[in-house]
Each structure stands twice: as C-alpha cells, then as structure tokens.
Structure 1
Amino acid sequence: MTTFTVDTDRRLHVLDITDRVEAAVPEDANGTVTVFVRHTTAGIAVNEAESRLLGDFEAFLADAVDDDGWDHDQLDGNADSHLRALLVGASETLPVSDGTLDLGTWQSVLLVECDGPRSRTVDVRV
C-alpha cells in the first residue's frame, strides 16, 4: 500500500490525482488497484478531468445538497459535506496492466473535496 496527501484550497473542490495514483502502482503490477480516501467528507471518482467539467461537477454537488438545514449541523456545521461525499463514495477500484492504470481515453482519477480546505490522505492498494 502507498499513501499520499492532497491539499485542497476550497470547500468544494475536484482535483485530478491520476498521476499520483499511477506513480503509486508498482511497475510489475497486474490486476486491480483500489484508491481510497480516509475521510467522511471527501470522495474518489473516475471521470473526465476537463476544467469546465470539474467546475460543473462542483456546481452539481453544491446544487444537489443544500448547505444547511440538516440535523448534523447542530454538532459541527458540515452535514452538507458528509452528504455530498456520500453521493460520490470513498473509493474506486481500477484495472492495472503492467504497472499502468488501464483507464479509458478520457478517464481520470478525481479527489472530490466536500469540506475544504483540508489535507486529505489517499491510499492506493494493489
């Protein structure tokens, strides 16, 4: 297993981490790799990393879940972040061939920050 950290700079932020994930995969690896974020207010997704689409993704998550009005907000004010991360999910399992992620042409591995800015821990397990 390899672990790395990603620093985010906005409350809702989608970042392309494909290169960091691929660098964590051993050169002789074949099979699958699981990418997992160790937080309940962040997620991992696979999609296209085109900048306008990433902005659309952030806007979609903002629109899909109201910022306030949730019971958990009485505790620490970030229920919206937990709910957005629940929509995305904490991990993705991807195919690996000869140490390379076997992604489609436009697919990238994305870290989805829902409660930033923060430092997030990502695990890569082959």
Structure 2
Amino acid sequence: MHITIATRKHTQLVDITPQIQQAVTDAAMDSGLVHVFSMHTTAGITINENADPDVKTDIINSLDGLFPWTGNYRHMEGNSAAHLKTSFMGAFQLVPVEKGSLVLGTWQSIFLCEFDGPRTRRVNLTFIHDQQFPTLLTPTSK
C-alpha cells in the first residue's frame, strides 16, 4: 500500500505519522513492523522530534550547510544537493507496531524529507505482521 503526500516547499520535513497510523488501523494490524519507504531519489524518510519546530529548521539548515544547493556538482539536472541529502537521511524507516499503534517515543514523529519540491510524493508502506514470522519476532523458550 502507499500514501500520497503533497509537499508545499522546496525543502521541508512533513509529519506523515497520522497517515501511517491510519494505514496501520485500516490494515487491522495488531503487532509487527511497518516498513516506510520513500519512492523517490530526492525525498527521504526520518524519525525525529516534532514538539519543537526549531528541530526541523535545524535539520534543514544543517543539511543545507553540508550539501549546498549550488556546488561543484556534475549531475546535469541541477538537483544534486537533493540527491545527496536523501542518501544522507535514508529512504526508509522500520517502525514497530503494538496493539494497533505505532511505537514511537514521546516526542518522535515520522517525516517525509522533501529536498526538491514542491511535488507529490509516494511513500510505500509494507506491513510485517507478527504472525507472518512468529519465530523471528517472538522469543522462544528452551
């Protein structure tokens, strides 16, 4: 399954936690893992704090410092910085699910990291239910 996210800025972190939680609920998933994967080379996925908006700003500003938009890049499309930021942040996260809810820390949210927007982005969700792999996810006794 997938969710679609419309980004509004060139660079932004979009909280997609509610959409993922809704997908978990719709899938009637009790426990297991959800694999959250960006289907783009210029948009990543991360988990970080969502209580203070300055954290998102600091992440964006730091990435701009590491990978400035204008640089000595060879990629002809002019968006090399976006590709580098996505590789640095990563394209996926694996999130536990217990009792039908995403297992995240108090301040954590799941973000789509837009680096070449605004665009419409697709995020693929793969559900791994505990009962699919009981020996992998359930401790065994000897």
TM-score when normalising by structure 1: 0.93
Q: Secondary structure at the match of 1:105?
A: coil
**Structure 1 contact 42–111 (Cα < 8 Å) conserved:** yes
Name stretches of at least 5 consecutive residues in structure 1 with no aligned partner.
none
**Structure 1 contact 33–94 (Cα < 8 Å) conserved:** yes
Cα gap change, 1:29/1:77 in structure 2, threshold over 3 Å: closer, same or farther?
A: same
Query: Which residue number in structure 1 is paired with residue 81 of structure 2?
Result: 80
Task: Work out the percentage of aligned pairs sharing the same amino acid.
Answer: 37
Query: Which residue number in structure 2 is paired with residue 8 of structure 1?
Result: 7
Q: Shift of the alpha carbon at 1:90?
A: 0.4
| Alpha-carbon distance in structure 2 between the residues aligned to 1:14 and 1:28 | 26
Greater Rg, structure 1 or structure 2? 2
Cα gap change, 1:28/1:78 in structure 2, threshold over 3 Å: closer, same or farther?
A: closer
Q: Secondary structure at the match of 1:54?
A: helix
Deviations, residues 26-51 of structure 1 (Å, cap 9, x unaligned)? 33331111001100000000001131
Deviations, residues 21-73 of structure 1 (Å, cap 9, x unaligned)? 1111133331111001100000000001131111111111111112122011x
| Alpha-carbon distance in structure 2 between the residues aligned to 1:88 and 1:24 | 23
Query: Which residue number in structure 2 is paired with residue 71 of structure 1?
Result: 74
Number of residue pairs matched? 123
Q: Secondary structure at the match of 1:96?
A: strand
Query: Which residue number in structure 2 is paired with residue 92 of structure 1?
Result: 93
Q: Shift of the alpha carbon at 1:86?
A: 0.6
Q: Secondary structure at the match of 2:118?
A: coil
Counterpart of 2:118 in structure 1: which amino acid? Answer: P
Task: Kindly indicate whether residue 24 of structure 2 is the aligned counterpart of residue 22 of structure 1.
Answer: no
Counterpart of 2:107 in structure 1: which amino acid? Answer: W
Deviations, residues 71-116 of structure 1 (Å, cap 9, x unaligned)? 11xx211001000111100000011012110111111101100111
